[in-house]
Chain A
Amino acid sequence: MGLTTNSEIVVRTTAEGAAGRAPLLRIQNVAKSFGKNVVLRDISLDVAEGEFLTILGESGSGKTTLLRIIAGFETASAGELWMGEERLDRQPPYRRRVNTVFQSYALFPHLTVEQNVAYGLRVAKRPEAEIVSRVGEALEKVKMSAHAKSKPSRISGGQQQRIALARALVNRPRLLLLDEPLSALDANLRRQMQVELKSLQREVGISFIFVTHDQEEAMVMSDRIALLRSGELEQVATPREIYGRPATAYAAQFIGHTNLLKGEVRGGVVRCGLLTWPAALPDGPALFSLRPENIRLAAGNVATAGRVRVRGTVRHQAFHGATELIRVECGDGMMLVVRTPGSGGPLDAVELEFSPTDAGLVRESPERI
Chain B
Amino acid sequence: MELLVSDAKLVSGSRWLFVHSAAVFAFLYLPIAVLILYSFNGEGVGGFPPHHLTLDWYRTLFADRPIWDSVLNSLEVAFAAMVISLTFGVPAALALDRAQFPGKTLFRRLVLLPLILPGIITGLSLLMLFNVMGTKLSLMTIVLGHGTALISVATTEVFAGLQKLDRAQEEASLDLGANYWQTFWRITVPNLKLPIIGAALLIFTLSMDEIAVSFFLIGRDNTLPLEIWGRLRRGITPEINAVSTIIFVFSLVAIVFWYRLRVRGESAAEGGTR
**Contacts from A to B (Cβ < 8 Å):** 71-73, 92-95, 98-100, 102-104, 106-110, 119-120, 123-124, 151-154, 157, 167-168, 171
Contacts and interface: CB of A to CB of B under 8 A. Distances in A.
B191 A94 contact: no
B271 A92 contact: no
Nearest to A71: B175
B274 A157 contact: yes
B168 interface: yes
Interface in B158-209: 166, 168-169, 171-179, 182, 186-187, 190-191, 193
Contacts, number: 83
A130 to B, nearest CB: 15
Contacts of A73: 171, 174-175
A84 B171 CA distance: 24
B178 A108 contact: no
Nearest to B171: A73
B272 interface: yes
Contacts of A95: 177
B36 to A, nearest CB: 40
The SS class assigned to the B binding surface is: helix
Nearest to B187: A108
B217 to A, nearest CB: 40
A93 B174 contact: yes
Given A94-B174, A94-B175, A152-B272, A104 B191 contact: no
A72 B183 CA distance: 15
Contacts of B175: 71-73, 93-94, 98-100, 168
B176 A171 contact: yes
B166 A106 contact: yes
A104 B166 contact: yes
Please indicate which of the listed interface residues A93, A153, A167 has the most CB atoms of chain B within 10 Å of its own CB: A93
B176 A167 contact: yes
A171 B272 contact: no
Given A109-B269, A110-B190, A104 B174 contact: no
A337 to B, nearest CB: 41
A109 B191 contact: yes
B268 interface: yes
A230 B176 CA distance: 30
A242 to B, nearest CB: 30
Contact of A104 (B168, B173, B269): B168
A170 to B, nearest CB: 9
Nearest to A73: B171
Contacts of B270: 153
A94 B268 CA distance: 28
B171 A93 contact: yes
B271 A102 contact: no
Closest 10 CB pairs of A and B: A153-B271, A106-B168, A120-B176, A109-B272, A106-B172, A93-B174, A123-B178, A153-B272, A110-B190, A100-B175
B191 to A, nearest CB: 7
A120 B191 contact: no
Contacts of A94: 174-179
B182 A123 contact: yes
Nearest to B175: A100
Contacts of A168: 175-176
A102 B168 contact: yes
B175 to A, nearest CB: 5
A65 to B, nearest CB: 14
A168 B169 CA distance: 13
A74 B238 CA distance: 65
A230 B236 CA distance: 77
Contacts of B187: 108
24 contacts: A72-B175, A93-B175, A94-B177, A94-B179, A98-B175, A99-B176, A102-B168, A106-B166, A106-B172, A107-B172, A108-B169, A109-B268, A110-B193, A119-B173, A119-B176, A119-B178, A119-B186, A123-B177, A123-B178, A123-B182, A123-B186, A151-B268, A153-B270, A167-B176
Nearest to B267: A153
Nearest to B168: A106
Nearest to A152: B272
Please indicate which of the listed interface residues B166, B177, B179, B273 has the most CB atoms of chain A within 10 Å of its own CB: B177
Contacts of B271: 109, 151-154
A32 B270 CA distance: 35
Contacts of B186: 119, 123
Contacts of B166: 104, 106
Contacts of B174: 72-73, 92-94
Please indicate which of the listed interface residues A72, A106, A171 has the most CB atoms of chain B within 10 Å of its own CB: A106
Contacts of A100: 171-172, 175
Contacts of B273: 104
A98 B269 CA distance: 28
Contacts of B172: 100, 102, 106-108, 167
B177 A153 contact: no
B166 to A, nearest CB: 6
Interface string B258-274: 00000000001111111
Contacts of B176: 94, 99, 119-120, 123, 167-168, 171
B171 A106 contact: yes
Given A93-B174, A100-B175, A109-B268, 10 more contacts: A71-B175, A72-B175, A73-B175, A92-B174, A94-B174, A99-B175, A104-B166, A110-B193, A120-B177, A153-B274
Contacts of A108: 169, 172-173, 187
